[in-house]
Amino acid sequence: MTALVVRAARRTTMFVAALALVVVVWESYRAVGPQDGGTIAGVRILPRTSEYAMPHVWDMFSRFGRPEVRGSDRTVFESVLAGAWYSFRLSAAGFVLGGVVGVGLAVLMARFKTVQRGVLPYLVVSQTVPLIALAPLVVSWGGKLEVGPFVWPRWLSASVLGAFLAFFPIAVGTLRGLAAASGSSVELMQSYAASWTKTLFKLRFPTAVPYMVPAFRLGASASVIGVVVAEISTGLKGGIGRLIIEYAREATGDPAKVYTAIFGAAALGLTMAGVVVAVDVFVMRNRPKESIS
Amino acid sequence: MTAVSIRNVSKVFNQGKPNQVEALRDVSLEVKRGEFVSLIGPSGCGKSTLLRLIANLLEASSGDVVVNDKSAAQARLDQDYGMAFQQAGLFEWRTVQKNIELPLELKGWDKPDRAARAKEMLQLVQLPEFADHYPWQLSGGMQQRIAIARALAAHPPLLLMDEPFGALDEMTREYMQGELLRICAATGSTVVFVTHSIPEAVYLSNRVVVMSPRPGRITKTVDVSLGADRNEDTRNRTTFFEAITAVREGLRGMHAAHVGLGNDDR
């Protein structure tokens, strides 16, 4: 337990130190870099250091505390928090959907080699489709979908796109984990005349856990990216993605503002990953410490 | 009373394909109830294949395998045997006790019954204080004892072991051999034991079956008349060395007049 605390403390320190380093680099360059950036033969190779291109870090943070628009009693912080919370719920829905689809596909592929041979290449191809191109399509398909009283809500398209990015690492990682059971442990289950389903739940899934945890971690951040990109490209209101474009439009007059939304998106991704890490620590608590991660 | 009866069994892998391998040719073997029989031979002689045919983890290409007076397939469904492998193969996410309970769980036993039996098995292998440990907290020898406890948990009449002590160091190995004999005496189990160590086979067995490769077949059977009461002194007895010599001659075929030099037990 103490070792765990020490490790957590060390990680936190490293995280803060890395963050501080980024701030130092940003501000140092801001202080010494040329106002117009560096140009060689008309090509700009260094960014400008003007107030508009690189606002001070403290300006970004102080912007959180000031009103969103002049005269409004709602601070930027409140708006960013509300937006991040909205996107978080969409991402969580996408993550759960992607998890169910990913694990389901992995089980099918592990059960039937023909399915694996037939489906796996398409899964790989599916990830090469640019999300930006797919987003409007999903929205328009969803809009046409109406099953009885069920009407496709606009936010669901964003979640579906999150799931679209999340399911892939989950499916691949879970499949690898399901196949990781040793030959003798499979024979052991056979010797007990255990059915395929029993073997799946008593042997294959527990064996797969160390493979599934990092896969789910990737899936969690992927679902956030999917949702934020979908919000941006479909203009869905309410989420952090929309805030990023709105604030970016004000960059000329209020350059620090867009960074608040970007920080919000980063915090959102970290929160999602953090939830998965917490689950990781819980499910792996009784495993040997030198197992794969 | 026969526990295992193998009649004219052959096994061919990848039949009809370019990589066809004849693993066993015309093998016959009877194992009486309560008997301890070792299968010994060089790699590729089909001893593990023969064990897997008895366990019904493989199907014979021809011939009959009868276990406990039923087909091997039925015996597997009835869990008439327990099995132990070279890797203890304990599930690392289960405590020692839960590992021992696994076969009982799959048989649908109630929780209190399972716990009681697991405790009993832990007593048998003399590790009662490790019930709540996880396998990775145990030494290799202890893990293997837990694996034996798991194999015997459902009180199967037959125990099938595939080089169970192969990964252990020599001292632990000899200790485990003594433990196995003690456990078998306590449970009255029939054992079919695959090994490539001649002293191990002789020390443990009533009968050592010598096999040779390409194709796998039984070339010799050596009866070991060391009696039921075996201990560390047994390893110094003349009968012990005579049996070792007999097995070694069997392994070398007819060219083995100069017994006892080199090529020890590997």
The residue length of chain B stands at 266
* More confident of the two residues B112 and B251: B112
pLDDT at A289 (0 to 100): 66
> Across the interface, do B105 and A202 touch by the CB < 8 Å criterion?
yes
- What confidence tier does B254 reach under pLDDT thresholds 50, 70, 90? very low
Contacts of B93 in chain A (CB under 8 A): 206, 209, 286-287
Residue A285 contacts B where some CB pair is shorter than 8 Å: no
pLDDT at B261 (0 to 100): 43
Most confident of A99-108, A185-194, B184-193: A99-108
**Residues linked to residue A150 through DSSP beta bridges, in sequence order:** A147
pLDDT at A1 (0 to 100): 60
Residue A286 contacts B where some CB pair is shorter than 8 Å: yes
Contacts of B87 in chain A (CB under 8 A): 182, 184
Of the partner residues A193, A202, A288, the one whose CB lies closest to the CB of residue B92:
A288
* More confident of the two residues B193 and A287: B193
Rounded to an integer, the average pLDDT of B38-46 is 87
Classify strands B158-162 and A43-44 as parallel, antiparallel or unpaired: unpaired
Question: Residue for token digits 């937006």?
Answer: A83
How confident is the model over B232-243, as pLDDT tens digits?
A: 777 778 888 888
For residues A28 and B63, what is the distance between their CA atoms, to the nearest angstrom? 83
Of the partner residues B52, B77, B89, the one whose CB lies closest to the CB of residue A188:
B89
- What confidence tier does A290 reach under pLDDT thresholds 50, 70, 90? low
Domain ranges of chain B: 2-80+156-255
Residue B31 neighbours by CB under 8 Å, 6+ apart: B2, B3, B4, B5, B37, B190, B192
> Across the interface, do B105 and A193 touch by the CB < 8 Å criterion?
no
> Across the interface, do A191 and B91 touch by the CB < 8 Å criterion?
no
Q: Nearest-CA neighbor of A193 among B18, B252, B72?
A: B72
pLDDT at A86 over 90: yes
Rounded to an integer, the average pLDDT of B6-34 is 87
Minimum distance, in Å, between the CA of residue A146 and any CA atom of chain B? 46
Q: Is the ipTM of this complex over 0.85?
A: no
For residues A281 and B203, what is the distance between their CA atoms, to the nearest angstrom? 47
% chain B with pLDDT above 90: 20
The residue length of chain A stands at 293
* More confident of the two residues B234 and A24: A24
pLDDT at A90 (0 to 100): 93
What does pLDDT average to over chain B? 85
* More confident of the two residues B262 and A185: A185
E strands, chain B, in order: 2-13, 21-32, 36-40, 62-67, 70-71, 81-84, 158-162, 190-195, 207-212, 217-223
CA distances B127 to A109, B116, B143, B187, Å, are: 41, 15, 10, 17
Q: Nearest-CA neighbor of A157 among A234, A244, A220?
A: A234
Residue B111 neighbours by CB under 8 Å, 6+ apart: none
CA distances A254 to A259, B47, B224, Å, are: 10, 79, 93
pLDDT at A119 over 50: yes
Classify strands A43-44 and A39-40 as parallel, antiparallel or unpaired: antiparallel
Rounded to an integer, the average pLDDT of B87-104 is 91
**Residues linked to residue B191 through DSSP beta bridges, in sequence order:** B36, B159
What does pLDDT average to over chain A? 86
- Quote the tokens at residue B127: 């590790």
- What confidence tier does B259 reach under pLDDT thresholds 50, 70, 90? very low
Exposed e or buried b per residue across A209-235, where buried means at least 16 C-beta atoms within 10 angstroms of its C-beta: bbbbbbbbbbbbbbbbbbbbbbbbbbe
CA distances B239 to A225, B50, B245, Å, are: 75, 28, 10
How confident is the model over A195-239, as pLDDT tens digits?
A: 999 999 999 999 999 999 889 989 998 999 999 988 888 888 888
Helix orientation angle between A240-249 and A257-283, rounded to the nearest 10 degrees: 160
Number of neighbours of residue A270 by Cβ within 10 angstroms: 14
Q: Does domain B2-80+156-255 have CATH number 3.60.20.10?
A: no
- What confidence tier does B213 reach under pLDDT thresholds 50, 70, 90? confident
Minimum distance, in Å, between the CA of residue A170 and any CA atom of chain B? 21
- Quote the tokens at residue B77: 């469904």
pLDDT at A293 over 60: no
Rounded to an integer, the average pLDDT of B51-76 is 88
pLDDT at A198 (0 to 100): 92
Contacts of A208 in chain B (CB under 8 A): none
